Structure 1
Amino acid sequence: MRTPSNNPFLPGSDRVPEIWAGRAPEIADFRDVLRPRRVSGLYERGRAVLGEFGIGKSALINRIAADAAVLGDWVPARVRVAVDADVFDLVGRSLQDFLESRRTDARVGRSADGLLRRIEEVRLPAGGVRIRAGQPQPNAYRTLLDVIVEMATMAGEEGRLLLIRVDEVQNIGRPGPLSQLLTVFGDALEATRHRRDVAGIDREDALPLAIYLSGLPDFHRHAAESGATFSRRFRTAELEPLSDMDLREALSPFTGDGWRILTDDGTARVVMDTGVVEDVIGRSLGDPFLFQLAGEGAWNAGTGTVITREEGDRGWQTVRREVERYVQSRLDGLTDLQMEVLTAAAGLGAAERTGSAVAQAVGRTGSAQIASTTRALDVEHQIIRRQAGRITFRSPAVEAFLAGSWP
């Protein structure tokens, strides 16, 4: 009946899980705002989706891309940037592979050869030397911009949208390539195509183009250091932990008619005891990865059509070590004082978590003596936030782990 092969939970993958939780505003933004405006020729900024490790950035933009593909939009493969990778080459390859897949389309085929030759100029310039991160080809910017504009124009002729995704943008690293990429994307978003409407009036329409960037919260700092006009051309959504309501809604099939699976004997439905639902929600602490992990463990702990509370407990025990490693990875590399400050902050109530109270808890006389430490934990490590004299944790899971009350 229930087996790992029909488990609908999917932790640790950028693929879109079957059990989808939350992010309704971001999905609705694409469906109701960005796509309709862009396809209609109206300007709309690109989107930057930022957030902590495991918060679901990649899964979100992949979900949006999947929705776009269902509508027939042009969706090249996601570009995932490794540290100091040649991002122009990666974007070029993504566009190249998409065009190759569409060469049998008569409309695309007529233009594909010329576009592919220009992409090769970006990916492999004259002399056979690839663009290096610190030494971009002088014409790469113009060539990539022209290719994106032409592809968006071709998509628009079919009434479709061209959607480009770049993940882990903080790994671009050097200001030069980052500035150039953001400038290419910004200029492409602002490019127009001429048309004459039914009233005979000449108009300049924005291209049917959507660009999604995703990365860690400090990408804003990298973009500012690059000198690119980022905020004017991209709207940022910083993902927060999921709410209990989001998670409860995602699990609602298990408390209703049940989650449908196919077995050798036909269709069956899997339900959860009410206690299991609440346990999964409580253990997840709003973290999408932990939610998928807790659900996976509960599912795999038995084989029947009812996931019992005992199975939920047993499943959580099987994944606890992975949960601890996941949270501990956010704390690796911190100094002893930084860990002392975090542990002291986690031991205080939210209303008492002021800089001076934390300083006193670690044996300092005032908040000024730990100011550089809390700043590093906020700006560099992105573990806490300093707001109105108080300290809050970005991740409830890290907070609970340090407080000793979880997992």
Structure 2
Amino acid sequence: MLRTQLSACLSKSVSSLSPTASTLEDVASNHRGLARVVLKKGKAQILKDGNPMVYSGAVDRVKGRPAPKTGDVVLVSDGSEKPIGWGLYNSVSMFCVRLMQLEEEVRRDPSCTLNMEKLLEKRFSAAIDLRRSLGLPSSDTNAYRLINSEGDRLSGLIVDVFGEVAVIASSAAWVEKYRPQIESVVSKVAGVRHTWWRSSVDILKEEGLEVSHEKEQGQPPFTQKVKVVENGVYYLVSPEGQKTGFYADQRENRRLISSLSKDKRVLDLCCYTGGFSLGALVGGAHHVTGVDSSMSAIELANENTHLNNLDHERISFVKEDVTEFMKRALLRNEEWDVVILDPPKLAPRKKVLHSACGMYRNLNSLAMQVTRRGGLLMTCSCSGAMTQSRLFLPTLQGAASMSGRRIAVLRQAGAGCDHPIDPSYPKGEYLTNILLRVS
């Protein structure tokens, strides 16, 4: 068991920075070479409440000789220079420090203070315990999220487990610095035999790092597809696909679609590799049509159909732009009983939110028109800016007006329970999933 292995690692790990005292005040006095980030007055409370991000605009001064470098451990102090926590420094990012531990935590358990290796082991152990309590992995689901960034108190790090493969997604400079330690801890997770590292190149540029793609980092291409099971349905996952290769965040929403699809005609728009489509077919759908603009996704969706020995006459996948597909369907007066619309991220930044609202409105207007009156539309947004703005529902109402339909909200949901969100950092919330009756 990983917990036993990690406990052994914790007892063996020794760091030159490990404190001999139980408060950060004492640590500061014992390690005078440690740099200190001093906040402006009035900027400490949000961090004490749990938000891990120290914005550069909240910093009054940085004390230390030599000055800290990106990835270095630093103390964070309030305006009176009283330490409130410690974290990892970034000299160029808008996130000057990502807090790892607060003063109160150090008092309760000083074993990990200023020691990232030990802290990683402790946070992973807690994450594993949480997933076990949620029943993950299980005999009918072995695809799940193990580490969800701020939700598991490791900001900038995501780890998705797909059977024997763990995909590690990095979007912070500290994650790149501690890559060997992270890979070592992940490799000890029960059942994991392979790890695959994915650096978010564009985000890391904002962190001050020029990181090449995986193939250029000495990591061989992951040519094999990984077989996973979710809700009893088998899928082939390509770790080099979109995001980490599979949208485990929609697992509970796919289960719902499966339960609603018996004897229904189902349309899955932006179907990717067939997650919702196969769930609907297994749930007894009369016929399922999946549409996606990516040929590689469509090919994998067809492979997944073969993998489950499903009736090919009851499912078809179409490579086409979903907007064009829906316009053509309207010309044919074609409608479906259940429609799923799960487009890619249309608002990657808050500054494009206005234009993204227009795109979401247009897509959903068409989706409502191809949903038979009295039918169901499950519509999604994976754009954090949209979800956090709470503009998605008003946008859907605008789409209903545009399409001449009325809608009723039956259910609002987000990502699965293995994607925890820290309420002190609401920017971690990104997925909105709304089930509508269209009339």
TM-score range, shorter chain: under 0.3
TM-score for both structures, normalised by structure 1: 0.25
Name which structure has the greater RCO, CA cutoff 8 Å, separation 6+.
1
Name the structure where helix makes up a greater proportion of residues: 1
